[in-house]
Chains A and B, each alone.
Chain A
Amino acid sequence: MTRIQGGLIDRNRPLSFRFDGRSYSGFEGDTLASALLANGVRLVGRSFKYHRPRGIFSAGSEEPNALVELREGARREPNTRATVVELYDGLVADSQNRIGSLEHDLLSVNDLFAPFFAAGFYYKTFMWPRAFWEKLYEPAIRRAAGLGSLSMLADPDAYDRGFQHPDLLVIGGGAAGLMAALTTGRAGASVLLADEDCRLGGRLLAEGGVIDDTPAADWVAGVVAELENLPNVRILTRTTVFGAYDHGVYGAVERVSDHLPEPGRKVRQTLWRISARHAILATGATERHIPFGDNDRPGIMLAGAMRAYVNRWAVTPQARAEDPVAIFTNNDDGHRTALALAARGVPLAGVIDTRSGVSSLGEYRTFAGATVTGTKGRKGLSAIELRHGGTSEWLNCGALGVSGGWNPNVHLASHHRGRPLWSDEKLAFVPDDNGPQGLLVAGAARGEGSTAEALADGARVALTALEALGISGTAPAIPVASEEPSAIEAFWHVPAKGRAWVDFQNDVTVKDIKLAHQENMRPVEHLKRWTTLGMATDQGKTANVTALAVMAELTGKTIPETGTTIFRPPYTPVSMGVLGGGDTGQRFRPRRLTPTHPWAEAQGAVFVEVGPWMRAQYFPRAGETHWRQTVDREARAVRASVGVCDVTTLGKIDVQGPDAGEFLNRIYANLMGTLKPGKVRYGLMLREDGIAYDDGTCACLAEGHYVVTTTTANAGLVYQRMEFARQCLWPELDVTLISTTDAWAQIAVAGPKSRELLSRIVDGFDMSNDAFPFMGCAELTVCGGLRARLFRISFSGELAYEIAVPARYGNALMERLMDTGKDLDVTAYGTEALGVLRIEKGHATANEINGQTTATMLGMDRMVSRKKDSIGAIMSRREGLSGDARRLVGFVPVDAGEPVVAGSHLVAPGDPVDMAHDQGWITSACYSPHVGSSIGLGYLVNGDSRLGQEFIAANPLEGQSVRVKAVSAHFVDPEGERLRD
């Protein structure tokens, strides 16, 4: 145990947890990492490629090494950084990326073969024999690669998404962020302050210094108390702002319940979309290390992280309290860690400082002008080799803190692809002015890293933000913080004979960078991709700048000439569950129900998804054991007596105005303006490129009042296009449009007895053929005063009508029709029978009009009027469209027992089944009770002149080949007598 006094943990709340099956204890306020350290656990993981033993390297979200599988069962979360996991009672975590135990990972054999696995090695081998890649090499590589594993069970937790619209978003609640929130909050701006940690304070919690003569943690508590009392300030802790998007939109994830054993009734996480007028980036900085030989052993960590563990979590970094700790640094900040450790009674082996002539800042030994050149201790550091004054010596130590300077966390400032600028003075990339509009950067995130600088900068930047917001504010008193020495010299890596890691997680060493240079993979993107540098779960937060410096040294260029990699969202990895927003399973998309849904449900209908709609597919009756029995019965009933079907889903667009007729003339390919009140006409719409777009009917209810119907799938699109035509092309036409799809329930009443059935419910309306002929329409009342619209149109080829009533009466109308028509054997039919009836009649639907269809293919080219202009008319005359030889025809199997299968391609008998001999394809097929066999529709080259010829309907995909005969597409009543009867 290496727990010491103090810290921000609650010793009254001990917590127990398990790691790799062993039980340990910690306290409320611990992270999994601090608790493991407190229990003397140093070996926590294995690296990606060489499976090297690894320990905790950092104290924050930049952690490359300490990745674990957190929780069990369906809640298992692979690759979870132990450094950001809040400890809770009963926490279970396991190490990952190993075969066998963590101690004795069988894959650590990779480390023995490390020389073979140099950068890019896999591009150079595993090529022979060819078939071995998928069968042998790749599976082996895949098993060894990856990190943790998913449970493969459905995520049981709930997620939510929400929206925030603050004046100002403050990202990060450290010294700069707190001052910014305070300054703007006091001025009355609506402020959202978000921090990834569970408590505000940032590095102030880790430094443990004094601000305004009070301990920093107490000062933070005072500020937080004031902010919490400001009604215009909202604080989101455990919230990572992960991306900067356009126009002041930021994505953030709030981990609502991840610190709890289970979410209970809460959501696990919430996705916030934050639209902020301005934002202040106060995300601090991340320490970088200095590569040297064998620098990856457990016990070697960032010096600033050591300070955080000592001050915030009251735990020292070595396994045993008596083991001395050493610091390796090129800057004063490393010495601060030595002071912090010394102050807590941690034995110090000394500070190894690359700078000549520096001296200790306290009671510890400093090796000036010295470097660390090697280490010992396979599963935990035991000694370091240091070189100074031309000699080498070994120092025993149980932990080594490394400080190579700090990299400002500029990520979000670069999410719009602005590149940060190199500062020779700060030896760091700092944000340029070309970041996202409205985003200001404050504190250590722009290189103002000391506590005093960060406090002042937060307030200063806040005033700038207030000015931009047009809110007057006053500069707050800047709290007094102690001076922190911050001198640094450029020192990027210690030349080593062995391996010196730059990117720990992906096992990228200085040698790999040298090899990339040698092989001319020098541009930074080549370096990254060739070596996998910075592509691990930490995205190179502790590695990238150091690697650039090494490459710069090799090429003789400066660091900014060498480049930066591009920062991309998310800042830290974000769970897929929350990005999906929680709309999973049945809630993936809304469900639209037709007006007669309750009635259909009561009948035991089987429903089918049709786009967003649920439609009755068929209505099985007792004794029917196969859907085909039901569908055959329904289709026969329509042809024999009368059937009813809810067709509300067809789009309905109300068109009104003096110029409505002219407008429709331009929308439809055929003449529509000549349509008289009380009449319906079939209409074909083209896209402007001349391809058939949609078809349906247009009814003229009165002078200047039309109802356009569309297919179900195109209801929204046709409306959109019509509005485009109205607003953008012909604003001079006096016409208005509204979609009334949801306003009217529409029921098809089809079959020889449909007139008789409807005549029983109309209020004195003359249904006779003379008074209301085929393609008539009328507004009337039914059932004793209910407003209705009646259209005499037919999709089935039978005498048929469609009747529309206000949507809320749809269910009742259906019930009334079924009740009134009992003696007529009225039969409800679903989409399946609807499909059979329309194929029998040769009507095209989405399978035929699929966006690749010309009017010529449909045999409708002559419908495209030359007497007027309409959308698509001109382009439909291009040679490729007008000369299209394919025609819609019908198909029957030569042997009536064989099926016609949609999707089969047509070839002439005896021809090879290949592209060159392709004659067309079957678009739709069904069993036709009317014909007594399977039938199909399809497009056939020169089809209109090849009726009666036989073809092979080839379906090699399913090993099927059926001899079919081309016939007229009208299997039922080709002369159309029935529907005019």
Chain B
Amino acid sequence: MLIPHPLLGLRDAQEFTYLGDASLMARPDPDQPDAEAAFADYVFLRDNPAGVHRELWFHEQGDRSWLVVTRNTVTHEILGAELATDVARRGA
């Protein structure tokens, strides 16, 4: 697979380490009363879609940036990639 790094262009996926669903960026508020339940969902449950999936890749053998890659899990087609910091700052 090739990942379109927003700064570095197409890079072999072998340079990256995969984490999982980009929902892992949405860490629950620890101060909410139901925090333990919210964290259990956050840590353990996944949509795991057959289709478009926003997911986290770490450019470990590269510039060490985390990317949010949008990829189809059925065809492996990649629809886009963004720096995770940009996504996180946007709050999306």
A873: Cβ under 8 A from any B Cβ: yes
Which of B25, B31, B58, B88 lies in contact with A723, CB distance below 8 A?
A: B58
Compute how far the CA of A255 lies from the CA of B87 in the bound complex, rounded to whole angstroms.
47
Chain A hits for B1, CB < 8 A: 245-247, 249
Chain B hits for A731, CB < 8 A: 85, 88-89
* A723:B64 contact, CB within 8 angstroms: yes
Task: Give A855-902 interface residues, CB cut-off 8 Å to B.
Answer: 869, 873-875, 877-878
A724: Cβ under 8 A from any B Cβ: yes
Q: Nearest-CB distance from A686 to chain B (Å)?
A: 12
B46: Cβ under 8 A from any A Cβ: no
Tell me whether A247 and B2 are in contact in the complex, defined as CB-CB below 8 angstroms, given that A727-B65, A728-B56, A729-B25 are known contacts.
yes
Complex interface bits, A767-809 against B, C-beta within 8 A gives 1, otherwise 0? 0000000000000000000000000000000000000000000
* B40:A875 contact, CB within 8 angstroms: yes
Compute how far the CA of A728 lies from the CA of B64 in the bound complex, rounded to whole angstroms.
12
Compute how far the CA of A291 lies from the CA of B29 in the bound complex, rounded to whole angstroms.
71
Compute how far the CA of A884 lies from the CA of B2 in the bound complex, rounded to whole angstroms.
45
How many A-B contacts at CB < 8 Å in the complex?
Answer: 68
* A720:B25 contact, CB within 8 angstroms: no
* A724:B66 contact, CB within 8 angstroms: yes
* B84:A727 contact, CB within 8 angstroms: yes
A689: Cβ under 8 A from any B Cβ: yes
Compute how far the CA of A878 lies from the CA of B56 in the bound complex, rounded to whole angstroms.
27
* A875:B39 contact, CB within 8 angstroms: yes
Which of B43, B58, B88 lies in contact with A688, CB distance below 8 A?
A: B43
Chain A hits for B56, CB < 8 A: 724, 728
Chain B hits for A720, CB < 8 A: 17, 58, 60
Complex interface bits, A635-647 against B, C-beta within 8 A gives 1, otherwise 0? 0000000000000
A275: Cβ under 8 A from any B Cβ: yes
B78: Cβ under 8 A from any A Cβ: yes
Tell me whether A727 and B85 are in contact in the complex, defined as CB-CB below 8 angstroms, given that A247-B76, A437-B77, A875-B36 are known contacts.
yes
B30: Cβ under 8 A from any A Cβ: yes
Chain A hits for B27, CB < 8 A: 688, 729
* A729:B30 contact, CB within 8 angstroms: no
Tell me whether A874 and B89 are in contact in the complex, defined as CB-CB below 8 angstroms, given that A249-B1, A249-B2, A729-B27 are known contacts.
no
Q: Nearest-CB distance from A389 to chain B (Å)?
A: 55
Compute how far the CA of A878 lies from the CA of B36 in the bound complex, rounded to whole angstroms.
8
Who on chain B is nearest to A725 by CB?
B27
Compute how far the CA of A716 lies from the CA of B30 in the bound complex, rounded to whole angstroms.
27
Compute how far the CA of A283 lies from the CA of B66 in the bound complex, rounded to whole angstroms.
41
Compute how far the CA of A727 lies from the CA of B44 in the bound complex, rounded to whole angstroms.
21
Q: How many residues of A contact B (CB 8 A)?
A: 25
Compute how far the CA of A249 lies from the CA of B76 in the bound complex, rounded to whole angstroms.
13
* B43:A689 contact, CB within 8 angstroms: yes
A248: Cβ under 8 A from any B Cβ: yes
Q: Nearest-CB distance from B81 to chain A (Å)?
A: 12
B79: Cβ under 8 A from any A Cβ: no
Q: Nearest-CB distance from A273 to chain B (Å)?
A: 8
Complex interface bits, B55-88 against A, C-beta within 8 A gives 1, otherwise 0? 0101010001110000000011110000111011
Chain B hits for A727, CB < 8 A: 65-66, 83-85, 88
Chain A hits for B43, CB < 8 A: 688-689, 875
Compute how far the CA of A728 lies from the CA of B17 in the bound complex, rounded to whole angstroms.
15
* B89:A275 contact, CB within 8 angstroms: no
Compute how far the CA of A728 lies from the CA of B30 in the bound complex, rounded to whole angstroms.
17
Q: Nearest-CB distance from A51 to chain B (Å)?
A: 44
Q: Nearest-CB distance from A162 to chain B (Å)?
A: 14
Compute how far the CA of A243 lies from the CA of B60 in the bound complex, rounded to whole angstroms.
27
* B88:A728 contact, CB within 8 angstroms: yes
Who on chain B is nearest to A737 by CB?
B64
Who on chain B is nearest to A739 by CB?
B64
Q: How many residues of B contact A (CB 8 A)?
A: 34
Who on chain A is nearest to B42 by CB?
A688
* B88:A729 contact, CB within 8 angstroms: yes
Chain B hits for A873, CB < 8 A: 30
Compute how far the CA of A416 lies from the CA of B72 in the bound complex, rounded to whole angstroms.
14
* B19:A724 contact, CB within 8 angstroms: yes
Compute how far the CA of A731 lies from the CA of B85 in the bound complex, rounded to whole angstroms.
6
* B24:A728 contact, CB within 8 angstroms: yes
Who on chain A is nearest to B24 by CB?
A728
Chain B hits for A246, CB < 8 A: 1-2, 76
Complex interface bits, A726-739 against B, C-beta within 8 A gives 1, otherwise 0? 01110110000000
Task: Give A234-277 interface residues, CB cut-off 8 Å to B.
Answer: 245-249, 275
Chain B hits for A729, CB < 8 A: 25, 27, 88
Tell me whether A247 and B78 are in contact in the complex, defined as CB-CB below 8 angstroms, given that A874-B35, A875-B39, A878-B36 are known contacts.
yes
Tell me whether A869 and B58 are in contact in the complex, defined as CB-CB below 8 angstroms, given that A688-B43, A875-B40 are known contacts.
no
Chain A hits for B83, CB < 8 A: 727
Who on chain B is nearest to A871 by CB?
B27
Who on chain B is nearest to A719 by CB?
B64
Task: Give A357-393 interface residues, CB cut-off 8 Å to B.
Answer: none
Chain A hits for B89, CB < 8 A: 731-732
Which of B2, B19, B35, B60 lies in contact with A275, CB distance below 8 A?
A: B2
Which of B2, B24, B30, B64 lies in contact with A874, CB distance below 8 A?
A: B30
Who on chain B is nearest to A870 by CB?
B30
Complex interface bits, A705-727 against B, C-beta within 8 A gives 1, otherwise 0? 00000000000100010011001
Q: Nearest-CB distance from A249 to chain B (Å)?
A: 7
Q: Nearest-CB distance from B2 to chain A (Å)?
A: 4
Which of A437, A728, A869, A877 lies in contact with B36, CB distance below 8 A?
A: A877
Q: Nearest-CB distance from B76 to chain A (Å)?
A: 5
Q: Nearest-CB distance from B48 to chain A (Å)?
A: 18
Q: Nearest-CB distance from A718 to chain B (Å)?
A: 13
* A723:B66 contact, CB within 8 angstroms: yes
Compute how far the CA of A689 lies from the CA of B85 in the bound complex, rounded to whole angstroms.
23
Chain B hits for A688, CB < 8 A: 27, 39, 42-43
Compute how far the CA of A732 lies from the CA of B27 in the bound complex, rounded to whole angstroms.
14
Who on chain B is nearest to A165 by CB?
B10
Who on chain A is nearest to B65 by CB?
A727
Who on chain B is nearest to A163 by CB?
B12
Chain A hits for B2, CB < 8 A: 246-249, 275
* A728:B25 contact, CB within 8 angstroms: yes
* A724:B58 contact, CB within 8 angstroms: yes
Compute how far the CA of A732 lies from the CA of B2 in the bound complex, rounded to whole angstroms.
30
Q: Nearest-CB distance from A272 to chain B (Å)?
A: 14
Compute how far the CA of A282 lies from the CA of B43 in the bound complex, rounded to whole angstroms.
49
Chain A hits for B64, CB < 8 A: 723
Chain B hits for A878, CB < 8 A: 36, 40
Complex interface bits, A920-938 against B, C-beta within 8 A gives 1, otherwise 0? 0000000000000000000
Q: Nearest-CB distance from B22 to chain A (Å)?
A: 8
Task: Give A48-86 interface residues, CB cut-off 8 Å to B.
Answer: none
Interface centre among A873, A874, A875 (most CB of B within 10 A): A874
Compute how far the CA of A920 lies from the CA of B2 in the bound complex, rounded to whole angstroms.
47
Task: Give A379-437 interface residues, CB cut-off 8 Å to B.
Answer: 416, 437
Who on chain B is nearest to A275 by CB?
B2
* B84:A728 contact, CB within 8 angstroms: yes
Can you list 9 residue pairs at the A/B interface with Cβ under 8 Å? Answer: A246-B1, A248-B2, A688-B39, A720-B60, A727-B83, A728-B85, A728-B88, A731-B89, A878-B40
List residues of A whose CB falls within 8 A of some B CB. Answer: 245-249, 275, 416, 437, 688-689, 716, 720, 723-724, 727-729, 731-732, 869, 873-875, 877-878
Given contacts A249-B1, A689-B44, A724-B66, 17 further A-B contacts (CB under 8 A): A247-B2, A688-B42, A688-B43, A689-B43, A723-B58, A724-B19, A724-B56, A727-B65, A727-B83, A727-B85, A728-B24, A728-B66, A728-B85, A728-B87, A731-B85, A875-B40, A878-B36
The 7 closest A-B pairs by CB, nearest first: A869-B30, A247-B2, A246-B1, A731-B88, A728-B25, A727-B66, A246-B76
